[in-house]
Structure formats: structure tokens, C-alpha cells
Amino acid sequence: MSTNKKNYIQVFNPRTERWVKIDRDAGKIIANKKSEGPYKNIKKYRSK
């Protein structure tokens, strides 16, 4: 099992209508998705 798996989540930005990838450890935005749909194999953030 890989120990260097990144702690990323994705959220939808309604202003730009794109998905954003965020590094939870650093608290920084990694990337904005240019194509439609969410990222594959990255958890979606759910508010409680």
C-alpha cells in the first residue's frame, strides 16, 4: 500500500462553474478543472 497518497478533496465553485482540487494538509488550492465533470478518484467535500 502506498504511503505517499495525498490528502486532496474537491469542491464545486458555483461562480466559475468548475471543480477545484484542494490540498487539505496545506490548505491550498491545487488546480481548477477545465473540462466538465468532477475529478476522478478524489473525494468530494460534503458540508455537515
> Residue 48: pLDDT band by 50, 70, 90 thresholds?
confident
> Residue 6: pLDDT band by 50, 70, 90 thresholds?
confident
φ, ψ at 26 (rounded to 5°): -90, -20
Above pLDDT 70, what percent of the chain?
90
pLDDT of residue 47: 79
CA distance 42 to 10: 7
CA distance 48 to 42: 19
pLDDT (tens digit per residue) in 7-19 = 999 999 999 999 9
pLDDT of residue 4: 61
Contact 11, 45 (CB under 8 A): yes
CA distance 2 to 32: 25
Contact 45, 9 (CB under 8 A): yes
pLDDT of residue 5: 67
